[in-house]
Amino acid sequence: MAKTISKKKSNTIKLNFDTSWSYAPAPESKSAATINKQYDLFINGEWVKPSGGKPARLNDDSRSGGYFDTINPANEEKLSEVAEANVADVDKAVKAARTAYEKVWKKMPAKERAKYVFRISRMIQEKARELAIIESLDGGKPIRESRDFDVPTAANHFFYYAGWADKLEYAFPNRKTESLGVAGQIIPWNFPLLMAAWKIAPAIATGNTVVLKPAETTPLTALKLAEIIQESDLPPGVVNIVTGAGATGAAIVNHPDINKIAFTGSTDVGKIIQRAIAGTNKKATLELGGKAANIIFEDAPIDQAVEGVINGIYFNQGHVCCAGSRLYVQESIAKQVIKKLRDRIESLIVGDPLDKNTDIGAINSRQQLETIHKYLDIGKKEGAEMYQSSCSLPGRGFWCRPTLFTNVAQSNRIAQEEIFGPVLAILTFRTDDEVIEKANNSPYGLSAGVWTDKGSKIFNMTRRMRAGVVWANTFNKFDPSSPFGGYKESGFGREGGLHGLLPYLNLVN
């Protein structure tokens, strides 16, 4: 569309309002990152070969142990191969963590421990660019997110908990605290480096030692973090990083000399872990799935709310436990909001995760893409109306167009179950009571969002909503000083903030 504005009859300025323009590619350079061909296990401050033989796998006997590939989900190319830890390797890591705990770490003055934690934070900052590139290559998330969110927030976590290390008497006044011992930590693939930071930073700052397992599809930034830890001169064995799949995680959970399990992942695996540790005196925090309700009232600033909803569900391809995957819009503005959402998803840029313009990167794995497609079929069969962006998708790799469903019923599976992809289910409501009942009608209770002009309404909603975090007129905001965690099947325990110290401590008087 071209518009002509005439200044004088003889002098016309032609303004071009063509809407079909697109950004020129702006790819981040892969050459700023070093990825080894092969990675061993990081045990006792050293790189150790896996003992091989039969791996500790749960459902797949076809692999003989040793190493497995990690690929780039944006083009399915192999990035590196990574050691698979079996039961014997996990035992070696736990022994190293126990020795480091008894002989060095628990005896070290807290202010000395803090210096190491602080140093790790600074080294993450120094290597931020490389870490962001590797995060996007290994997991498929847009570089803008890994660069501006994952990596700086990971560094902030170490920085924040370094500060607490020698101030526990202020965190728990008049109480004496004691570290627990060896923490087994198991993390998912959606925020690989950030989840490692959420787990390791509070654990070591409070005097515990760690055996951590990253997810099978995204091990590389945790292994880069191991390199940083080695370079930081952290005493050997304080942090051990063992790679592998579910059975490696199970080997950690079942190890008799682990004092605490910190797990982030699916509710199904969370339940398996809870069963496995029942009757032991292992402490646990479980950060599990979610199905967050994002609620827009008719008095909300609509454009701001639409942008928040877009960020809430399409951020990181919807691979976010607290993603705003259920949208409740007040009936009077539903038509307007849905139109704006459709227009906005049409403008989202889907493609190369390393391109700085990309809004939506690759789905993390073929398996996750299949899960998302399964839910798209379920949604259509349930009678909901599906709308997808018309963008073209790359030929190779795992991709999903940003999708929204309208005409969704509260009982539909797409409104009840976690999809973990860029898929929004839109429902409507008339009154406050109705929307609270609908929002709380979920097995999960991790997070929620409220969009309204009225402060009183915000307080009313946050008080009555069964969700660990409720964002008001914003969404997906994180800070190391804020606690995070769920109700119901979203798990228990809190990570972050002062609350995040307690799961790693015993209060002894």
Q: Which of 90, 269, 333, 425 binds ligand NAP (CB under 6 A)?
A: 269
Q: Which does 138 bind (CB under 5 to 8 A by kind): Mg ion, ligand NAP, none?
A: Mg ion
Tell me the closest approach of the beta carbon of residue 180 to ligand NAP, in angstroms.
19
Q: Which is nearer to ligand NAP, 296 or 313 (CB)?
A: 313
Query: In angstroms, how far is CA 21 from the centroid of its own chain?
Result: 33
Binding pattern for the stretch 60-99 against Mg ion, x by CB under 5 A and - elsewhere: ----------x-----------------------------
Tokens of 442: 């979920």
Tokens of 175: 């109480």
Which of 287, 418, 489, 495 is an active site residue? Answer: 287
Q: Which is nearer to ligand NAP, 195 or 338 (CB)?
A: 195
Q: Which of 73, 140, 188, 192 binds ligand NAP (CB under 6 A)?
A: 188
- Helix 267-277 and helix 246-254: axis angle, to 10°? 30
Query: Would you say 235 and 210 are in contact if contact means Cβ atoms under 8 Å apart?
Result: no
Which listed range, 130-138, 271-279, 339-347, 441-449, lies at the site for Mg ion (CB under 5 A)? 130-138
Size of the site for Mg ion (CB under 5 A): 3
Footprint on residues 133-152 left by Mg ion (CB under 5 A): 138
CA distance 70 to 3: 51
Q: Which does 249 bind (CB under 5 to 8 A by kind): Mg ion, ligand NAP, none?
A: ligand NAP
Cα separation values, 194 from 153, 158, 277, 282, 468, Å: 7, 10, 26, 24, 19
CA distance 248 to 432: 46
Q: Which is nearer to ligand NAP, 265 or 422 (CB)?
A: 265
CA distance 363 to 204: 32
Q: Which of 168, 200, 201, 288 binds ligand NAP (CB under 6 A)?
A: 288
Which of 84, 145, 216, 321 is an active site residue? Answer: 321
Q: Which of 156, 208, 209, 217 binds Mg ion (CB under 5 A)?
A: 217
Footprint on residues 366-395 left by ligand NAP (CB under 6 A): none
Binding pattern for the stretch 72-111 against ligand NAP, x by CB under 6 A and - elsewhere: ----------------------------------------
| DSSP string over 252-308 | HHH-TT--EEEEES-HHHHHHHHHHHTTS--EEEEE-----EEEE-TTS-HHHHHHH
* 142 binds ligand NAP per the rule CB under 6 A: no
Size of the site for ligand NAP (CB under 6 A): 30
Q: Which does 309 bind (CB under 5 to 8 A by kind): Mg ion, ligand NAP, none?
A: none
Tell me the closest approach of the beta carbon of residue 156 to ligand NAP, in angstroms.
17
Is 321 tagged catalytic?
yes
Q: Which does 70 bind (CB under 5 to 8 A by kind): Mg ion, ligand NAP, none?
A: Mg ion
* 313 binds ligand NAP per the rule CB under 6 A: no
Q: What is the DSSP letter of 29?
A: P
CA distance 48 to 241: 11
Q: Which residues contact 53 (CB under 8 A, 6 or more apart)?
A: 64, 65, 86
Tell me the closest approach of the beta carbon of residue 55 to ligand NAP, in angstroms.
12
User: Which residues on adjacent β-strands are paired with residue 293?
Assistant: 326, 448
SS (H, E, C) 179-220: ECCEEEEECCCCCHHHHHHHHHHHHHHCCCEEEEECCCCCCH
The residue assigned the tokens 């497995």 is 68
Would the CA dihedral through 213, 216, 221, 223 be positive or negative?
Answer: positive
Binding pattern for the stretch 469-488 against ligand NAP, x by CB under 6 A and - elsewhere: -----------------x--
CA distance 355 to 119: 31
* 496 binds ligand NAP per the rule CB under 6 A: no
* 215 binds ligand NAP per the rule CB under 6 A: yes
CA distance 263 to 506: 19
Q: Which of 186, 222, 400, 502 binds ligand NAP (CB under 6 A)?
A: 186
Would the CA dihedral through 487, 490, 491, 492 be positive or negative?
Answer: negative
Tell me the closest approach of the beta carbon of residue 30 to ligand NAP, in angstroms.
24
* 246 binds ligand NAP per the rule CB under 6 A: yes
Question: What residue ranges bind ligand NAP (CB under 6 A)?
Answer: 186-190, 213, 215-216, 245-246, 249-250, 253, 264-266, 269, 272-273, 287-290, 321, 418, 420, 446, 486, 490-491
Question: What residue ranges bind Mg ion (CB under 5 A)?
Answer: 70, 138, 217
Q: Which residues are catalytic?
A: 287, 321
